[in-house]
Amino acid sequence: MIDFRSDTVTRPSKAMRTAMANAEVGDDVYGDDPTVNELEFWAAKRHGFASAMFCSSGTQANLLALMAHCQRGDEYLCGQQAHNYKFEGGGAAILASIQPQPIDNENDGTLCFKKLTAAIKPDDAHFARTTLLSIENTINGKVLPLSYMAEARDFTTRNNLALHLDGARVYNAASALNVDITEICQYVDSMSICLSKGLGAPIGSLLLGSEALIKSAKRWRKVVGGGMRQAGIIAAAAKIALEENPAKLQQDHDNAKYLATALNRLPEVSVNLSHVETNMVFATFAETIDITNLVTKLKNKNILVSTANPMRLVTHLDISQTDIDCFIQQLTNVLNANTKA
């Protein structure tokens, strides 16, 4: 099966499976799992933070960051397209009584600092307290420049706000910018990293921050049911993902450009090539195309894509150029059959 729906569908490598089978484990809620402890210590040092916490998912890591930064009745600024606002079930509001204040993302994925400034609430009992800015890198496959990260740091410092980075695909950003990951990390107070997307681990995310923030987040992790026991089994694979797979992300980016270029040759499909910065391609199909039918026919050919227009196609460890060629051929056949019909 060739799966373009997301980079979350990657399968663990043989080395990961071996490491999982042989992992030394303990009870992580007690802090006794040596493999988890090693991962957290290594990750904190690698990314330039004082502490780290292993979580079951990126959604959980982001939620715990918000809960550690904010109190009940506080608000955080974010983008309208931010994952922790739009795609994480409203967890901050539902579980933590934290109010999101979304701002329209600019075309490049950034947030306008003038708009952010206008959204900060006065110190008045009528308003939620604005305490945090949350940004995302990458966002919809777009990379925030280092200059923007520096501006975000200056903005939050001037306005006495903390700065959280949803870094689900932050290693994609570092690869696209051709910089070490610490060049991005240096600007933020906390950061989440998803290990089960392009990095290829089967499960897990990291939250990185100060010792005080991670101590608070660990308490909230327990409260929301996120405490894990012999989690070293999955932490072992996560460590391999962080050590070995960042170097492979550029191939995913190259494949995304290859895919976008091939799609653009089809008369019924349009892709803005300038928007393909990492491993995501957004393809717009002609209005005459029945997307649901197209998705079904491709699935019958062992190709999985999302039912949407524009359609997001994501390249990852388990997608090769041969797979892309196969997809383009099958897509062409489906489109030609639609035209004849």
Please report, for the domain that includes residue 237, its CATH number: 3.40.640.10
**Alpha helix locations (H) across the chain?**
14-22, 34-47, 58-69, 83-86, 91-96, 113-119, 146-158, 170-177, 182-185, 211-223, 232-244, 249-264, 291-299, 321-340
| pLDDT score of 340 more than 60 | no
Report yes or no: 316 and 141 within 8 Å, Cβ to Cβ.
Answer: no
Q: Which of 244, 262, 279 is the last residue of a domain?
A: 244
Maximum Cα interatomic distance, the chain, rounded to a whole number of Å: 65
Domain count, the chain: 2
* Domain end point (choices 223, 244, 265): 244
- In this structure, are 111 and 231 located in the same domain? yes
pLDDT in tens, 255-273: 999 999 999 999 999 999 9
Instruction: Pick the more confident residue, 97 or 339.
Output: 97
**Are 195 and 291 members of one domain?**
no
User: What predicted TM-score, i.e. pTM, was given to this entire model?
Assistant: 0.95
Do 171 and 270 lie in a common domain? no
Query: Looking at the structure, do residues 325 and 297 belong to the same domain, yes or no?
Result: yes
Same domain, residue pair 115 and 132? yes
Domain that holds residue 73: 12-244
Indicate whether 234 and 288 sit together in one domain: no
**Are residues 109 and 212 part of one domain?**
yes
pLDDT band at 337 (very low <50, low <70, confident <90, very high): confident
Determine, yes or no, domain membership for 123. Answer: yes
pLDDT exceeds cutoff 70 at 275: yes
Q: What is the predicted pLDDT for the residue at 339?
A: 63
Among 201, 217, 244, give the residue marking a domain's end: 244
Q: Is the pLDDT of residue 254 over 70?
A: yes
Cis omega (within 30 of 0) on the bond before 310? Answer: yes
Q: Note the pLDDT tens digit of each residue in 35-62.
A: 999 999 999 999 999 999 999 999 999 9
Per DSSP, 34 falls in state H
Average pLDDT, rounded, for the chain: 96
Confidence of residue 127 (pLDDT cuts 50, 70, 90): very high
